[in-house]
Chain A
Amino acid sequence: MEASSSSTSSPPPPPPPSIPASSAWADASPLLDAACRDLQDGELIHGENFSLFGAMSALEIMDPKMDCGIEKSGYYSIDEAIEDGIAPVPLSLDRTLDIQRTLDVMDHLFSCEATWHKGHTLAQTVFTCIYLMRMERTSSHAILNSFCRILRATCYAVVSVVSTARTHEEEDLFTMSFGLPLRDEGDEKCLSILNSVEETIARQLRACKAQALSRKKTLEGLESLQDNPDLEEDYCRALLCRLRFRKHFYHVVTCLRKPHGRGLELARKHVASCLTELSLMLNSRDFLRSQSNNTQQQGDEICTTASGVRPVGFDASLNSRLLSPAPPRAVKLLSWSDAIRYFEKLLRDLDIVCSSPLDPVLENVLHFVVQFQKSVPDLVPRAFLQTLLVQDGKLYGRDLSCDVISRALSLPDIIGDKEFQMNEFVVQLGQLEFALKREFGETRNVLLHENMCMRVSKQLLVWTQEHTYWVAYRFLILGFELDLYSPSEYCMVYWYMYVVLMKLIEQMQLRILATRRKGKKKKDHSKDSSRDTAFPSSCLLLQCYVLLSEGLSMMLAALRNESNSFQLPSIFNSEQEVDWHFDLLQKARLPEHITYYSFRESASHASIADLTKYNFFKEIHKITPSLRGSFASEPEKLAEIRQIEQVAEHNRIALNIISQVGAGDPSLRVSFEFTHHPHFAVAVVKRS
């Protein structure tokens, strides 16, 4: 602010030329002064656009709940921490202790890395390591330096995969790495640096073994890791598995990024090697524990190192100023054992990614993704799958989506016709085709082309609708997996699933019929008229879901009608508004002409008596035997059928009990549990 006291001696400066001379100028300083005096602690002056975001961005300095920059360690900078000796190089002048401490740093970094993968910032996890923040300091310590360098290169590669894939959500902090020394010249050489360190230690290990055999006292020509010859072999082993894990993991990350999935096979070998090294790391724990000072050990649930000793060289609050201006997020590091478990799961998920047959058939790709999702993979493997599937807008960076869809539509005649693809295939559908027909109807040779357009267009429409319903169905069952539905909504959810599934089957059958008709033209007409009625087992499996959905929906509706249970609250709104759950589907008009009233209509007549007469759950048992036969070679599908049968059987029995007791009986308690299937509930009947 300008000096507020205006003296009469000096004339006020002339106004800038942009301001009209006619304006009268007054000194606002006294007014501002008075306003400042009036402003109490906790008050502010704001404009009209002041938002909740603005209000919440204000932080109270020195409030530990809000101020993430508040000093907890007492260090104002990394340099100060280093001067204070919290990250010495070498880690100890005692060479045995130096190796022990190096292993602790490696292990703690491993726990930090897993914690980062699980959704925290790099700054608060891996980069709490001062050795990593000031890597040049470690150049005299080859083991630590090579380890830190390859870890940093790996972090950089993983950030790049996750940013490319964009499978992370807006709330994820994973890729936030501002201000961190994540990349440095020479990191490309990290592998060769690590290899030479590994080679030295491996030689030392061999020498140890040879010495044990020949009982020689000295290790000629080799420099030992530390001073106690009895421990040398175990320390070599402990270091080697950690360094080798880093090497193979780096290979996994780089191989998976190779274009067109060319590195998958090699990546898979490195995944297997990583898993081997992980188990060797676990094996080294007993030795490291036995060597560490017991008084410093932490419990297994919280300790972040194999030895149980807290590592040197870390300061959790040093990077707090690099974080966004927000209250500090609590970071609870995974324990070393949990980190091992995390990496085992990560590697198993990556192994699934590596097992991709790079199948160009869309159905199989979708199936692969659905199967992959079942293991609930974390962010990193999801990102790797995404970058494998879509590169440069093409499937595996190889097949144009246009070709993939052509193949799915089985359109051999047209695939080659690039002009056709450009003009009609992607751009124009349905209505446009009709317009074309009208406009060019006169011209004979256009008509020929146009007939083909019509056929393709129809097929494409059917195919698109089928896949849209498939997505809609997945959208609905995702609600169960995310726990978004309450029991009072189940009735409507299952009804919706039933409607979507019916449509899905309908489109599927249309598509199959269309391809058959096409195929038959070339063959004999009379032979296989019976085949038209037989649809593939995938249709029959959907039929089971239809029966389960309709059965559950009607059972819940009957319970509502007859026992007054599973009612939706009606204080502020009605069931109609709850229907909003399906808002996204409704906006996409999926399915068409389906409204809340269609649901009301079918639910209002539901009764237990009718349900026992036409028992959806019984019907399922008529379908499953033939399904078993056709899925005989697919254990996953067989397991699914078993689950379906269990849900059907439990609900059939529950329905019988309810029917015998009477739904209106006040002692009857019905609840729904997902004990046999993640999406289809089982009714549990109790009497109080």
Chain B
Amino acid sequence: MSAAAAEATERGEPSGGGGEIAYVSYGGEHHLPLVMSLVDEELSEPYSIFTYRYFVYLWPQLTFLAFDPKDGKCVGTVVCKMGEHRGAFRGYIAMLVVLKPYRGRGIATELVTRSIRVMMESGCEEVTLEAEVTNKGALALYGRLGFIRAKRLYRYYLNGVDAFRLKLLFPRPDPGMHPMMMLGNERDDQHMDSPYL
């Protein structure tokens, strides 16, 4: 769905002296304008309020916000969903944004890691997302987390840029059984189709 405005590729160093960032789980309508303005500002795709509400109402536990404690400003957010997808319970990272001046401090990694952890605990087998092929920062960030590039989507975004579908597969409950040996397993790389068609 959406590209992530991610941090620079420097090796995951924590905050560079700007004080600890506070991470908050989505707490209700008062957080919605913060999420919306961040995404509107930083991501290329336009979303209506219904799209935001769709995510934050159904999966509030997967949405996180990052605040700068100095001035209480919201500097980053992650918005996700999860559900059945072609026989697998799948998490999906819809939007990930960190304001430019705050990038390179591990904020995006922390936000997305929190969401992924909740997905894992909720029984997700995999996590997917799309990122612009030109968004090196996002690709590096997800690469470090173990995402692989499953597919290249031609002109996926409205601005005409290709996307990679990235995928993270969680380990199976039975460690003796390798996923690829479980035949009849209907996992598929088929994606959530672009809704703009």
Contact = CB atoms under 8 A, between A and B. Distances in A.
Given A55-B48, A119-B160, A171-B197, A580 B146 contact: no
Given A170-B193, A486-B148, A577-B146, A63 B46 contact: yes
B195 A57 contact: yes
A571 B46 contact: no
Given A42-B50, A171-B155, A484-B149, A573 B169 contact: yes
B106 to A, nearest CB: 13
B178 A595 contact: yes
B171 interface: yes
Contacts of B114: none
Given A58-B50, A573-B169, A326 B148 contact: no
Contact of B168 (A52, A330, A573, A579): A573
B171 to A, nearest CB: 5
A123 to B, nearest CB: 15
A172 B154 contact: yes
Interface in B117-173: 120, 133, 143-146, 148-156, 158-160, 164, 167-171
A496 B167 CA distance: 20
Nearest to A575: B146
B24 interface: no
Contact of B158 (A44, A55, A329, A483): A329
B22 interface: no
A172 B131 CA distance: 18
Interface in A313-344: 324, 326-330, 332
B50 A572 contact: no
A631 interface: no
A25 interface: no
B54 to A, nearest CB: 4
B160 A65 contact: no
Contact of A329 (B145, B154, B160, B164): B160
Contact of A486 (B149, B153, B179, B180): B149
Interface stretch (A98-106, A222-230, A277-285, A581-589): A581-589
A576 B196 contact: no
A70 to B, nearest CB: 12
Interface in A362-398: none
Contact of A171 (B45, B53, B153): B153
Contact of A573 (B54, B170, B187, B193): B170
Contacts of A578: 146, 148, 169
Which of B143, B192, B195, B196 has its CB near the most chain A CB atoms (within 10 A)?
Answer: B196
B194 interface: yes
A568 interface: yes
B37 interface: no
Nearest to A587: B183
Contacts of B46: 63, 65-66, 327
A262 B162 CA distance: 38
A172 B155 contact: yes
A420 interface: no
A570 interface: yes
B148 A580 contact: yes
Contacts of B116: 572
A565 to B, nearest CB: 13
B189 interface: yes
A596 interface: yes
Given A170-B197, A573-B171, A119 B155 contact: yes
B49 A56 contact: no
Interface in B18-72: 45-51, 53-54
A580 B146 CA distance: 12
A278 B144 CA distance: 49
A571 B113 contact: yes
Given A484-B150, A595-B180, A55 B50 contact: yes
A52 B178 contact: no
Contacts of A330: 158-160
B103 interface: no
A489 B113 contact: no
Given A326-B196, A569-B145, A50 B171 contact: no
Contacts of A583: 180, 187, 189
B146 A569 contact: yes
B154 to A, nearest CB: 5
B171 A577 contact: yes
Nearest to A67: B46
Interface of A: 42-44, 50, 52-53, 55-60, 63, 65-66, 119, 169-172, 324, 326-330, 332, 482-486, 488-489, 568-574, 576-584, 586-587, 595-597
24 contacts: A52-B195, A55-B50, A56-B48, A56-B50, A57-B195, A58-B51, A59-B48, A119-B155, A171-B156, A171-B194, A327-B45, A327-B158, A329-B196, A482-B152, A484-B150, A489-B148, A568-B146, A569-B145, A571-B113, A573-B170, A577-B171, A595-B178, A595-B180, A596-B178
Given A52-B1, A486-B149, 10 more contacts: A52-B195, A57-B195, A63-B46, A171-B155, A326-B196, A328-B158, A572-B168, A576-B171, A579-B180, A580-B167
